[in-house]
Structure 1
Amino acid sequence: MKKRLAKFVSWVGFSARQRARRVCEKPVPGYHVHKSELKEFHRAAYLGASCTVEELLSCKKNVVDSRDRKNRTALHLACTRGQSSVVALLIQWKCDLNARDEEGKTALIKAVQCQKEVCVTVLLEHGADPNLVDDSQSTALHYAVLAEDTSIAAELLRYKADSEAMNKYKYTPLLLAIRENREEMAKFLIENGANIHAVDKLQRSALMLAVYHDSPDIVKLLLEKGVNADLLDVHGQSAEQYASYSGFKHLYQLIVDYRAGKIPNTSPQNSDLGQSSAENIQGKLQLSGKDDEEEIVVELETSNGGCTDSPKNIEQKTDLEVEFSPRFEDISVIGTSPRIMPMI
Structure 2
Amino acid sequence: MKKFFGFRTGKVCSSSPFDMELMNDLMASVHKEEVTDTQPRYNIRVKELKKIHKVAVMDNICKMQRLLLRGQDVNKRDKRKRTPLHLACTIGHADMVDFLVGRTCKLDLYDGDCRTPLMKAVQYQEEACVTTLLEHGANPHLTDKFGNTALHYAVAGENMSIVEKLILYDANIEARNKVRQHYL
For the superposition of Structure 1 and Structure 2, which TM-score range results when normalised by the shorter chain? 0.7 to 0.9
Output the CA distance in 1 between the equivalents of 2:140 and 2:105. Answer: 17
Q: Give aligned pairs, total.
A: 150
Radius of gyration: which is bigger?
Answer: 1
Q: Is the 8 A contact 2:42 2:91 kept in 1?
A: no
Aligned pairs for 1:166-245 (under 5 A) are: 166-170=176-180, 201-202=181-182, 233=183, 235=184
Q: Using the alignment, how far apart are the partners of 2:66 and 2:107 within structure 1? A: 21
Q: State TM-score, norm by structure 1.
A: 0.42
Match of 1:101 among 108, 111, 132: 111
- 1:30 and 1:113 in contact (8 A); partners too: no
Q: Does 1:44 align with 2:55?
A: yes
Structure 2: how far apart are the matches of 1:27 and 1:66? 31
**Is 2:97 the partner of 1:91?**
no
CA gap 1:30/1:128 in 2 versus in 1, 3 angstroms: farther
- The CA deviation string for residues 78-127 of structure 1, in whole angstroms up to 9 with x for no partner, is 00111111111111110010011111100000000111100000000000
Deviation at 1:26, TM superposition (A): 6.6
**Alignment RMSD, CA only?**
2.0
Q: Which runs of 5+ in 1 are unaligned?
A: 1-24, 171-200, 203-232, 236-344
C-alpha distance in 1 between matches for 2:167 and 2:39: 25
CA deviations over 1:49-71 (Å, ceiling 9, x no partner): 1111111011124x100000111
Of 79, 89, 94, which residue of structure 2 is paired with 1:79? Answer: 89
Distance 1:29 1:104 in 2: 19
Equivalent position to 2:130, from 113, 120, 137? 120
* Corresponding position: 1:138 with 2:137: no
Q: Aligned partners of 2:147, 2:175: CA distance in 1, in Å? A: 9
**Which residue identity lines up with residue 176 of structure 2 in the other structure?**
M
Q: Which residue of 1 aligns with 2:70?
A: 59
Contact 2:92 / 2:121 at 8 angstroms: preserved in 1? yes
Offset, 1:31: 3.3
Question: Runs of 5+ in structure 2 lacking a partner?
Answer: 1-35
Q: Deviations over 1:132-182 (max 9, x none)?
A: 101111011111111110000000000000111011115xxxxxxxxxxxx
Higher relative contact order (CA 8 A, sep 6+): 2
